[in-house]
Chain A
């Protein structure tokens, strides 16, 4: 009888009775004892320790998981790689669409075009030639485009139509050496002629009135002269340098085209009749 009530036995009976009481209370709805709050308190104590330890243990665990479960990790990695590639592809096409949309929207809000009629076109190809700097667009006379029509990008003059087919047209770029456009110098209102000099080279400004002052990044716009080949007020380029070479009577002015051909995807062809 004495052994029945020895201390370890009483302890375990007590522990089990308390546990059973807790279980019963738990099943009867908790009564006045809130189990949720007790659980919450314990978690609150352990949580900060757990977070700190996780930051130490995680790399070690990852190492061992990788070592023990190598084939599964490899397979998962391959699957994730495939998913990543798909998502990257989707992201890139989304970005491309976004850029295209921005380009088209920009063309519809060109302040320098005003109320001039025109049509949007997509640049489909840059002519791979060293003798002519031009690009092809996906619209031709079927869309109302005719020879000599000015072509603008989102930032300014891109060129002039030099060939037209039914559903395509070739545009001579501003930088082509055979391209020239009359420009207006805003500081004194005088006119000059901007001429292309080749790929990646600035335009050269000709017939500048002596004594004309230029500031860097000064924007030159079409003059509307030259028999009004181009409508007036379209940005052509920005002044990047101006100087008077020794012994010369004329200023040497370099102008960087405002249109960046590397990013040119959409253009607007203006239906413009010279002199009209």
Chain B
């Protein structure tokens, strides 16, 4: 029973993040740019749980994100799963990474995902990534997620400890 409840932590955390993203908390903006809590979640899972967990979290979060957007279904899941996997590569750096590096990875990963989504939309002729505001958008999303990452990483670590899926560091060669 205890293990079952522990395994519910992660879906509950994702649901909470999703609801938070779509409440006024997610509607808050800095220079008309909204924070992306789902990206924060994906990057944090990848940093804490590694490549596979990052890819799965990215895919599921992307599908959920797409459910609330008018952009093509599958776009966010494609980008988020890719970014989740790439960030998960940080497990190669070992367990004794500094907290600052984790925060930096989450911030850079979030900005990169935002750029990739914009590029994807540009390829589909749905957006123009060369607009001046895009740069501010990447910086704000990355910056906000960098600042929020300690909290999310702690939450993800707690949720993953329940399911026993914390990444095993890959030894450096």
Interface residues of A (CB under 8 A from B): 7-9, 11-12, 15-16, 18-23, 25-27, 35, 38-39, 42-43, 46, 49-50, 53-54, 57-58, 61, 64-65
Contact = CB atoms under 8 A, between A and B. Distances in A.
Grouping DSSP codes into helix (H, G, I), strand (E, B) and loop, the A interface class, with mixed when no group exceeds half, is helix
Interface in B38-69: 50-52, 55-56, 58-59, 62, 64, 66-68
Given A12-B82, A64-B28, A19 B55 contact: no
Contacts of B68: 39, 42-43
B85 interface: yes
A18 B77 contact: yes
Nearest to B120: A23
Contact of A65 (B28, B81, B85): B28
Interface residues of B, number: 34
B67 A22 contact: no
A50 to B, nearest CB: 5
Contacts of A50: 19, 22-23
B73 A26 contact: yes
B94 interface: no
A61 B24 contact: yes
Contact of A23 (B51, B55, B64, B73): B73
Nearest to A22: B74
B58 A15 contact: yes
Contacts of A57: 23-25
| Most chain B beta carbons < 10 A, residue from A15, A25, A35 | A15
A226 to B, nearest CB: 75
The 9 closest A-B CB pairs, nearest first, are: A22-B74, A19-B78, A8-B51, A42-B67, A15-B81, A15-B59, A23-B74, A12-B55, A12-B85
Interface in B10-41: 15, 18-20, 22-25, 27-28
B51 A18 contact: no
A53 B73 contact: no
Contacts of B75: 19, 23
B74 A26 contact: yes
Given A23-B74, A57-B25, A8 B50 contact: yes
Contact of A15 (B55, B88, B124): B55
A26 B72 contact: yes
B24 to A, nearest CB: 4
Nearest to B78: A19
Contacts of B15: 46, 49
A5 B91 CA distance: 18
A188 to B, nearest CB: 74
A19 B62 contact: yes
A11 B52 contact: yes
Contacts of B82: 12, 16
29 contacts: A8-B50, A8-B88, A11-B51, A11-B56, A12-B51, A12-B52, A12-B55, A15-B55, A16-B81, A18-B59, A18-B77, A19-B78, A19-B81, A21-B74, A22-B74, A22-B77, A23-B75, A23-B78, A25-B74, A26-B73, A27-B72, A35-B73, A38-B73, A39-B73, A42-B67, A43-B68, A46-B15, A46-B19, A64-B28
Contacts of B22: 46, 50
A8 B56 CA distance: 9
Contacts of A64: 28
Contact of B78 (A7, A8, A16, A43): A16
Contact of B59 (A19, A21, A46): A19
A19 to B, nearest CB: 4
A23 B72 contact: yes
Given A49-B15, A53-B23, A22 B73 contact: yes
Nearest to B79: A19
| Most chain B beta carbons < 10 A, residue from A7, A12, A54 | A12
A149 to B, nearest CB: 68
A67 to B, nearest CB: 12
Nearest to A64: B28
B68 to A, nearest CB: 7
A20 B79 CA distance: 10
A62 to B, nearest CB: 8
Nearest to B72: A26
